[in-house]
Amino acid sequence: MEPRTLPYVRFIGMLILYVGLGLSQHTLAQVTVTDVTPLHGASGAEITIYGSGFDGTAANNVVSFSPVGGGAATTANATSVTGTTKLTVNVPAGLVGNYEISVENTVTTDTGTYANLFAGTFIGGWYGEPTTSQNQITSSIDNPLATHIADLDGDGDMDVLSASFNDGKLAWYENTDEQGTFGVQNIIASDYNSPRHVSTGDIDGDGDLDVLMADFGRSGTLDGRAFYWHENTDGAGTFGPKQLIFFDGSITSMTIFPADIDGDGDLDVVTSSNRTAGLRVFENTNGQGAFGPEQLIDNAGRYARSRTG
C-alpha cells in the first residue's frame, strides 16, 4: 500500500512547493509608489515616480491618472525607467483637477497607487482652464502651490503671500499703491522642504498678522511633514524665524488655519493631513504662540482639506 501512496505524496509536496514559490515571486514583484514629484503639472510636463516593482522596460509600466470623484482614467506609458525603483512619465493632455496616480507593471499585472493626489494643468494662476490675461507679480518662484491675501504690513490694503513647492520658499509682496501694483519679493524663509499651504492670523495677540505654514514633506525624509508659524515682529511685514507647532514624520501636512476653537480669546490652530492622519487642533496655551499637544478631531477622512467660514 505504501509504495502506491508515496508517488502521490511526492506529487502533492512538489505542487505545494511550486505554488509557494510562485506566490513568493509575485509578492516580491509587487508594485509600490512611494513618491511623485512634482505633484502638479500641465500637459507634456515630466514627472518622476519612485517606488518598487517597476518593470525594467519603460513601455511595460503604465501610469494611470484617475479623476477624483469618478470617471475614466487617462493613461500614459513611462518614458524612462531606472532599475525597478524610478520612472518618468509625461503628463497626458486634458488633465484638469485632482487625480489619483497608480502604476501598473504589465508583465506582473501588479499595480501600486500613490497616497497623495496629483493636480493637473496649472495655467494662469489656477488648476483649470487658461485665463485670458494675467498680471505677473513675480517669476522668482518655482511651482507656487499656495497663495494667500492679507494686509501683512498694516497699511490697509491687501498684500500677497506665496509658498512655492519646489524651491521651499515662503515670501510676500507688498501692494504698493492699493491698486494691485506689487513690489519686490520679500523672503520670509527659503529652507522649507515643500510648502503646501499658508494662512495668516494674529497668533501672538499683538495686533498684527503672523504667518502659518504647512510643510508637505517627502516620503522617507524627516525634514518636512510639519506645521510652523512666523511672527510679524514689527507689524510691517518683518518676519521672524519659523517656530514649530507640530512635527510627525509619518504624515503629510496638507492645510493649516487659525481659529479660536476653545473660546478663550486667542487663536488656536486647526490642521489637516493626508489619508488617515486626519484633522487636529493645537491649543494656543498662552495666547502668544506656545502650542499644546495635538487633539485629534477625526482620522476617518482621506486627503482631508480644510475650509473656513
Sequence-ordered list of residues with C-beta below 8 angstroms from that of 104, at least 6 positions apart, any chain: 31, 61, 62, 64, 110, 111
Give the pLDDT confidence score for residue 209 in this predicted structure.
95
Residue 67, judged by CB atoms within 10 A of its CB (0-12, 13-18, 19+), counts as middle
pLDDT of residue 303: 46
Taking only the tens place, the pLDDT of each residue in 178-229 is: 888 899 999 999 988 888 889 999 999 999 999 999 987 654 444 446 899 9
Strand partners for 62: 77, 104
Q: What percent of the chain is modeled with pLDDT above 70?
A: 77
- pLDDT score recorded for residue 297: 79
Q: What band does 132 get if pLDDT is binned at 50, 70 and 90?
A: very low
pLDDT: is 42 or 126 the higher one?
42
Average pLDDT, the chain: 81
pLDDT at 299: 63
Q: What is the pLDDT of residue 192?
A: 87
pTM, two decimals, is 0.56
**Of 173, 219, 227, 172, which Cα lies nearest the Cα of 197?**
227
Higher-pLDDT residue of 253, 158: 158
User: Per mean pLDDT, which range of 59-63, 249-253, 305-309 is the poorest?
Assistant: 305-309
Q: Counting every residue, how long is the chain?
A: 309
